[in-house]
Amino acid sequence: MASRIRIAWPRGELTATLADTPTARALVASLPAESVAATWGEEVYFELPVAARLEPDARQVVEAGAVCFWVEGRSLALPFGPTPIARAGECRLVTKCNVLGRIDGDPRALAAVRAGDPVRVTIAE
């Protein structure tokens, strides 16, 4: 069963559709949650109160707009373009991450997030 979440920050918000994975279920169970955004190239990430293990299909290179969970950092990772270690414009995460789903619409909306912004994640109605 897919779930939808809403991610909001001072200058915008977006929704994402999550697949039915162990980490996605743990994320949904932890909501609502608030955090502080960090940025790394064209990726926004922030810590959430979720504990997870790497899943068998974890990946380091993902599509822009993928909703990922960085297990070591206990953080949601939202790449919307190249990161500092990307090759040829790809979205390369710092390590392998669990892929939970996709952002609905244009992931470039995340360009409005600034490091230090408060972020709130809720279940989308």
Q: What is the pLDDT of residues 4-50, one digit of tens each?
A: 999 999 999 999 999 999 999 999 999 999 999 999 999 999 999 99
Reduced to 3 states (helix: H, G, I; strand: E, B; else coil), residue 28 is helix
Give the other-Cβ count within 10 Å of 125's Cβ.
6
Domain layout of the chain by residue ranges? 3-123
Q: Structure tokens of 85?
A: 């270690």
Averaged pLDDT of the chain:
96
Q: Which fold has domain 3-123?
A: Cyclophilin (2.40.100)
- Give the CA-trace dihedral at 55, 108, 64, 39, to 10 degrees: -60
The reported pLDDT for the residue numbered 104 is 97
Give the residue from 70, 66, 46 showing the smallest Cα distance to 107. Answer: 66
**Given this model, what pLDDT does residue 89 score?**
77
Q: Is the pLDDT of residue 88 over 90?
A: no
Judged by phi (left if over 0) then psi (alpha if -120 to 50, else beta), residue 66 lies in beta
Tell me the whole-structure pTM to 2 decimals: 0.95
What type of residue is 34? Answer: E
Whether the per-residue pLDDT at 110 is higher than 90: the answer is yes
Token representation of residue 68: 């990922």
| Reported confidence tier of residue 1, pLDDT bands at 50, 70, 90 | low
How wide is the angle at C-alpha 50 spanned by C-alphas 85 and 78, nearest 5°? Answer: 35
With beta carbons less than 8 A apart as the criterion, state whether 28 and 123 touch. Answer: yes
Q: Which of 49, 84, 55 is nearest to 68 (CA)?
A: 55
